[in-house]
């Protein structure tokens, strides 16, 4: 009988759409002439990954370019099993993959949730750029609150902090400075994420993994990153595998309404009750 020849070549390319390296690891194991590829996800949120395999004399239980959603805080999550096609014949495999945080396949969310204005009670703040704004919100449901430098930022919704960046001190009114955005990302119970951006240098008072309550103090506003002056950028979104975001319109409780969409050029007061 001919000796079986296995030739294994593994190349992983990961594309990260963030300043942070996510705690996600891929690896393979061989057992009974099959290769199993696993993932360890140490993050507090779901992670999504898409694979492209190049196989010789092997088949994969996961089709090319299909997105896999990996549960939070999970070890040895099975991605695929590679099985040989023709016995006693050399085989090899390689793959590339991209990944991003969140469930990239998600479509549904809590459309009825009423958010709290992300600043102190009794304060009145202007929305100086609203949904689909001409400066930096084209085709984007995002809000810019006219908060002064160092103003307290409060969580608009309860959730888990999944990213904190507050070590930047640069800014400019150009997209090239977006990489300097100081921000806090909070994951909500329905799988959506809230982005609180342009915090001041060392302006976060929460850390990754913290559970925060609605109206909890989370940081201080600033002018870092893609900004021409101090303000708070706020947006709720579902993340996609290619780095794009599906933005969601959010209703807020104000002194005048129990749930309203905020408009550019208008000011809103947060109730004290």
Domain boundary among 101, 123, 149: 101
Give yes or no for a contact between 110 and 117, defined as CB atoms under 8 angstroms apart: no
What is the CATH number for 192? 2.70.70.10
Instruction: Report whether 220 contacts 150 (CB < 8 A).
Output: yes
Are 248 and 101 spatial neighbours (Cβ–Cβ below 8 Å)? no
Question: Domain check: are 169 and 234 in the same one?
Answer: yes
Three-state DSSP state, 174: coil
Beta-bridge partner residues of 142: 235
Q: Quote the number of domains for the chain.
A: 2
Q: Could you tell me if residue 19 is inside a domain?
A: no
Of residues 12 and 71, more confidently modeled: 71
What's the pLDDT at 141?
85
Distance CA 24, CA 14 (A): 10
Tell me which residue range forms the domain holding 50: 24-101
Per the domain annotation, does 16 fall within a domain? Answer: no
Model confidence pLDDT, tens digit, residues 97-125? 999 999 999 999 999 999 999 999 999 99
Mean pLDDT for all residues in the chain: 89
Predicted pLDDT of residue 5: 44
Which of helix, strand or coil describes residue 175?
helix
Q: What is the pLDDT of residue 61?
A: 97
What are the distances in angstroms from CA 272 to CA 13, 112, 219, 254, 255? 51, 22, 20, 10, 9
- Residue 155 inside a domain? The answer is yes
Is residue 12 a contact partner of residue 95, using CB atoms and an 8 Å limit? yes
Give me the pLDDT at residue 11, please.
46
Give the CATH number, domain containing residue 33: 2.60.40
Closest CA to 47 of 75, 63, 24: 24
Q: Tell whether 55 is covered by a domain.
A: yes
Look at residue 34 and tell me whether its pLDDT is greater than 50: yes
Please tell me the predicted confidence (pLDDT) of residue 134.
59
Same domain, 97 and 144: no
Which residue has 């300097």 as its token pair? 180
Summarize pLDDT for 139-175 with one digit per residue, the tens: 668 899 999 999 999 999 999 999 999 999 988 888 8
Helix (H, G, I), strand (E, B), or coil: what is residue 155? coil
**Residue 155 in contact with residue 215, Cβ under 8 Å?**
yes
Check pLDDT > 60 for residue 1. no
3-state secondary structure of 186: strand
Please check whether residue 146 is in contact with residue 120, taking contact to mean a CB–CB distance below 8 angstroms.
no
**Is the predicted pLDDT of residue 3 greater than 80, yes or no?**
no
**Per DSSP, what are the bridge partners of residue 184?**
164, 196
> What are the two backbone dihedrals, phi and then psi, of residue 177, each rounded to the nearest 5 degrees?
-90, 0
**CA–CA distance, 110 with 104 (Å, rounded to integer):** 16
pLDDT in tens, 168-215: 998 888 888 888 899 999 999 999 999 999 999 999 999 999 999 999
Give the pLDDT band of residue 20 (cuts 50, 70, 90). low
Reading the block at residue 239, the tokens are 């993340």
- 80 and 156 within one domain: no
pLDDT at residue 138, as a whole number: 56
Residue 172 confidence (pLDDT)? 84
Higher pLDDT, 243 or 219: 219
Distance CA 80, CA 60 (A): 6
């Amino acid at each position: 009988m001919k000796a079986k020849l296995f030739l294994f070549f593994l190349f992983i390319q990961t594309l990260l759409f963030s300043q942070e390296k996510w705690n996600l690891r891929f690896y393979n194991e061989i057992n009974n002439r099959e290769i199993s590829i696993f993932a360890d996800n140490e993050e507090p949120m779901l992670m999504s990954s898409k694979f492209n395999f190049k196989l010789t004399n092997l088949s994969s239980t996961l089709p090319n370019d299909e997105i896999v959603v990996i549960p939070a805080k999970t070890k040895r999550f099975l991605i695929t099993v590679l099985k040989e096609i023709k016995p006693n014949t050399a085989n090899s495999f390689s793959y590339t993959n991209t990944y991003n945080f969140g469930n990239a396949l998600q479509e549904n969310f809590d459309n009825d949730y009423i958010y709290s204005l992300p600043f102190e009670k009794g304060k009145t703040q202007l929305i100086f750029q609203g949904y689909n704004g001409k400066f930096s919100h084209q085709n984007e449901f995002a809000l810019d609150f006219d908060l002064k430098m160092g103003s307290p930022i409060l969580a608009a919704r309860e959730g888990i902090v999944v990213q904190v960046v507050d070590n930047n001190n640069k800014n400019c009114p150009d997209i090239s400075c977006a990489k300097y955005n100081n921000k806090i990302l909070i994951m909500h119970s329905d799988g959506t994420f809230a982005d609180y951006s342009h915090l001041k240098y060392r302006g976060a008072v929460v850390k990754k993994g913290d559970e925060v309550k609605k109206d909890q103090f989370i940081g201080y506003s600033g002018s870092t990153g893609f900004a021409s002056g101090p303000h708070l950028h706020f947006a709720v979104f579902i993340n996609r595998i290619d780095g794009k975001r599906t933005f969601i319109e959010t209703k807020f409780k104000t002194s005048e309404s129990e749930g309203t969409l905020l408009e550019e050029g208008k000011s809103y007061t947060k109730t004290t009750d």
